[in-house]
Amino acid sequence: MDKIIAELCEIFEVSELPVDVRFEDLPEWDSLNALSVIALLDSSYGIQIDAARLQKFGSINEFAQHVLSNRK
Amino acid sequence: MNLQFQGARINGIQLVLPKREVSFDSEASSYDFSLQQSAKLKAVLGFDRRRVVADDVTCSDLVVAGFEALSRDGLLDLKTLDALIVVTQTPDYLIPGTSYVIHGRLGLRQDMLCLDINQGCAGFVVGLTTAFSLLNQKAIRRVALVNADVVSRLVAFGDRNSRPIIGDAASITIVDATSDESLIYGNIKVDGIGWDALMVPAGGMKIRPNTQTAIPEIDANGNSRALDNLVMRGDAVFNFVMKEVPTMIHSLLENGGVALSQVDGFAFHQPNPFMLRKLAEKLGVPLEKMPMDLVRKFGNSSGVSIPAVLCTNFEASYFEQPRVMCLAGFGVGLTWGSLLINMSKISFLNVLEV
Cβ atoms of residues B175 and B8 within 8 Å: yes
Sorted by sequence, the CB contacts under 8 Å of residue A62 that are 6+ apart come out as none
pLDDT at B55 > cutoff 90: yes
Q: How close B194 gets to chain A, by Cα (Å)? A: 13
**Residue B204: HSE in the Cβ half-sphere, 13 Å Cα cutoff:** 9
CB atoms B239 and A30 under 8 Å: no
Q: What is the pLDDT of residues A33-55, one digit of tens each?
A: 888 999 999 888 999 888 888 98
Chain B positions in Cβ-Cβ contact with residue A31 (cut-off 8 Å)? 161, 221, 234
Three-class SS of residue B219? coil
Asked if B37 and A32 come within 8 Å (Cβ–Cβ), the reply is yes
Whether residue A1 is predicted with pLDDT greater than 80 in this model: the reply is no
The whole-model pTM stands at 0.93
Nearest Cα of chain A lies from the Cα of B27 at a distance, in angstroms, of: 18
Answer whether A35 sits within 8 Å of B238, measured CB to CB. yes
Q: Which residue has the higher pLDDT, A19 or B140?
A: B140
Closest partner residue to A38 (CB to CB) among B45, B239, B281 is B239
The packing angle between helices B234-256 and B273-283, to 10°, is: 40
Q: Is the pLDDT of residue B187 over 80?
A: yes
User: How far apart are the CA of B219 and the nearest CA of chain A, in angstroms?
Assistant: 12
**B-chain residues near A34 (CB < 8 A):** 235
Distance CA A4, CA B217 (A): 36
Residues comprising chain A, all counted: 72
The amino acid occupying position B190 is V
- Distance between B264 CA and the closest CA of chain A, angstroms: 25
Which pLDDT score, from 0 to 100, does residue B234 have? 84
**Using a CB-CB distance cutoff of 8 angstroms, which residues of chain A are in contact with residue B40?**
32
In 3-state terms chain B splits into helix, strand, coil percentages (rounded to 5) of: 35, 25, 35
pLDDT at A71 over 90: no
Asked if the model's pLDDT at residue B256 lies above 90, the reply is yes
Nearest CA in chain A to B279: A43
What is the CA B354 to chain-centroid distance, rounded?
Answer: 18
The share of chain A scoring above pLDDT 90, in percent, equals 44
Chain B's closest residue to A54, CA to CA, is: B235
Other C-beta atoms lying within 10 Å of the C-beta of residue B246? 18
Closest-approach residue (CA) in chain A for B275:
A39
Are the CB atoms for B325 and B267 separated by under 8 Å? yes
CA-based nearest residue in chain A for residue B34: A28
Mean pLDDT for chain B overall: 96
Does ipTM come in above 0.85? no
**What confidence score (pLDDT) does residue A51 get?**
85
Residue B12 one-letter amino acid? G
Closest residue on chain B to A51 (Cα): B235
Q: Is A61 on the interface with B (CB under 8 A)?
A: no
The confidence score (pLDDT) of residue A28 equals: 85
